[in-house]
Amino acid sequence: MNVEKLYKHLPVSLQNLACSLYGYKEKRKRYGKWFDYYQDLLDKTDNIDRNEIEGYQTKKLSELIKNAYDNVPYYRQVFDERNLKPIDIQSKEDLKKLPILTKEIINKSPELFLNEKFSKSNLIQIKTSGTTGKSLEFYSTKEALSFQWAVWWRHRSRFGFNYGDKHLNFTGRPVVSVEQSCPPYWRWNKAFNQALVSMQVITNDTIDDICSFINNNKFDFWVGYPSIIHNFCSLLLEKEIELKSKPKVIFLGAENIYDDQKVDIEKVTGAILTDQYGFSEGAGNASQCEYFNHHIDFEFGILECVESEELENGDLRGKIVCTGFANQAFPFIRYEVGDMGVWGSDDFECECGRVSQVLKKIEGRVEDYVVTPEGKRIMRFDYLFKDTDQIKEAQVVQRQLGSIEINIVKRKGYTSDTEDHLLGQVKDWISPNLKVSFNYVPEIPRESNGKFRAVKSELN
Ligand SMILES: [Zn+2]
């Protein structure tokens, strides 16, 4: 019997214990001496000036490149083929001399990426499942993991919260079985001072109990995927249930938040919503400041804008390519994450005073867009649904050129007028020639990793 199956059959008290034991194990990995070290460093570097940032990155990049050349077979080969030496790569600009790294390249021969100075037995194995099923397995160090968590906690500290504060996590993990028919629909991870609610159990039947649980427990903040928190809030709105114990801040991640989701979440919680951009490979990160701009966490890695186009206002739009400073055991150098971003121009000044570069937009996965008959690529559709409160959730799917399907989970009051309104919106905002068909569904299935995809392209 595997661990998940065993967990499913445990009584609630032992499931709580299992969650806490998992927590204590993770705590040892994430929050050891390295966490304290990086928290201290990140606190000191949060407000440094441009010259100091450049100095820091040059030093970290040189160390990373030398280490990769000396100890990682793939990079040694890449350098030798191009007649490059570590000294040739000293700045972000120099990185262009190296090729882009993709998941496919790593998957072909992952052993070439492992630093010869490390042994697998001392490393943490990480498996990611991409939304398109392109999985990746790699290794990381405890130090890198702690560095990542210190970056995430710095984001939280910008909004007044610290490690140890009581919080609620809306998780994609099935910590509560869907077959459970009475409360508690939550579990506790005492190690993190955290309660967990699984997305799978948030339904019309459980919502009253979950809401009372939250009202009885004053959580300082919430964390979770926007789509899960949105589902929760939208059920409260539908059933006109009042949330009395409101979080001050909600920390979002893993997915983009759409305007229509934001409206509902704010209506229910009145909370400040803030987001950080990261990914499992841990090779880069950007966290919002108090003015809701995503500053690149320059201490953690370099985010390059590749295949860029300059927008009218001087911003640059392109693929996000990362070089991570944290993981020396399995370095990611010029790794293509699969997301698109918009970089603010160099003279963009954020009101918070931080000068670390700003990512004005993170547009999500490169392959998630619809192509119009006019050849435009459209990545976001949320503004179509923004003024319509008769829609709970929507997903746009393109299977062939010239047409799209919109999957819709209706709310009360949805009529043929709503459909006409949406058709008009598509004509006005997207394309007058795009054919649209509607599918009405009870729910929109999540991807294998629990993520919601608002736009899905099945064009090949
Ligand atoms: Zn800022």
Q: What is the pLDDT of residue 104?
A: 87
Q: What is the pLDDT of residue 129?
A: 64
Going from the Cα of 357 to the center of ligand 1, the distance in angstroms, rounded, reads: 9
Going from the Cα of 354 to the center of ligand 1, the distance in angstroms, rounded, reads: 5
Going from the Cα of 143 to the center of ligand 1, the distance in angstroms, rounded, reads: 27
Going from the Cα of 431 to the center of ligand 1, the distance in angstroms, rounded, reads: 35
pTM given for the model: 0.85
Q: How confident is the model at residue 460 (pLDDT cuts 50, 70, 90)?
A: low
Q: What pLDDT digit, counting tens, does each position of 171-194 carry? A: 878 888 877 889 999 999 999 999
Distance CA 129, CA 284 (A): 18
pLDDT mean across residues, the chain: 91
Going from the Cα of 292 to the center of ligand 1, the distance in angstroms, rounded, reads: 7
Distance CA 19, CA 195 (A): 10
Q: What pLDDT digit, counting tens, does each position of 363-400 carry? A: 876 667 788 888 777 777 777 777 777 888 889 999 99
Of 422, 452, 424, residue with least CA distance to 439: 422
- 10 Å CB burial of residue 93 (0-12, 13-18, 19+) is exposed
What percent of the chain is helix, strand and coil (3-state, nearest 5)? 35, 25, 40
Is residue 248 over pLDDT 70? yes
Range with the largest mean pLDDT of 40-44, 103-107, 175-179 = 40-44
Going from the Cα of 56 to the center of ligand 1, the distance in angstroms, rounded, reads: 19
Going from the Cα of 151 to the center of ligand 1, the distance in angstroms, rounded, reads: 15
Distance CA 99, CA 74 (A): 12
Distance CA 391, CA 414 (A): 7
Q: What is the pLDDT of residue 407?
A: 94
Q: What is the pLDDT of residue 393?
A: 83
Under 8 Å CB-to-CB from 34, ≥6 apart: which residues?
142, 143, 146, 147
Going from the Cα of 169 to the center of ligand 1, the distance in angstroms, rounded, reads: 26
Going from the Cα of 64 to the center of ligand 1, the distance in angstroms, rounded, reads: 28
Q: Check: CB of residue 118 under 8 Å from CB of residue 70.
A: no
Cβ atoms within 10 Å, residue 347: 6
Going from the Cα of 53 to the center of ligand 1, the distance in angstroms, rounded, reads: 15
Out of 3-12, 48-57, 80-89, 336-345, least confident range: 3-12
Going from the Cα of 350 to the center of ligand 1, the distance in angstroms, rounded, reads: 5
CA distances from 89 to 70, 94, 204, 308 (A): 14, 5, 56, 21
**Residue indicated by tokens 């950007």:** 286
Peptide bond into 99 cis (omega under 30): no
Distance CA 392, CA 382 (A): 12
Range with the largest mean pLDDT of 90-99, 309-318, 385-394 = 90-99
Q: What is the pLDDT of residue 51?
A: 95
Going from the Cα of 116 to the center of ligand 1, the distance in angstroms, rounded, reads: 40
Q: What pLDDT digit, counting tens, does each position of 354-363 carry? A: 999 999 988 8
Q: What is the pLDDT of residue 329?
A: 97
User: What's the rounded mean pLDDT across residues 145-170?
Assistant: 96
Going from the Cα of 2 to the center of ligand 1, the distance in angstroms, rounded, reads: 46
Going from the Cα of 259 to the center of ligand 1, the distance in angstroms, rounded, reads: 21
Going from the Cα of 274 to the center of ligand 1, the distance in angstroms, rounded, reads: 12
DSSP 182: S
Going from the Cα of 405 to the center of ligand 1, the distance in angstroms, rounded, reads: 38
Q: Are strands 194-198 and 167-171 parallel, antiparallel or unpaired?
A: parallel
Q: What is the pLDDT of residue 3?
A: 77
Two tokens at 280? 């499992």
Q: What is the pLDDT of residue 149?
A: 96
Is residue 303 over pLDDT 70? yes
Mapped onto helix, strand or coil, the DSSP state of residue 404 is strand
Mapped onto helix, strand or coil, the DSSP state of residue 191 is helix
Going from the Cα of 303 to the center of ligand 1, the distance in angstroms, rounded, reads: 17
Q: Which residues pair with 455 in a beta bridge?
A: 396
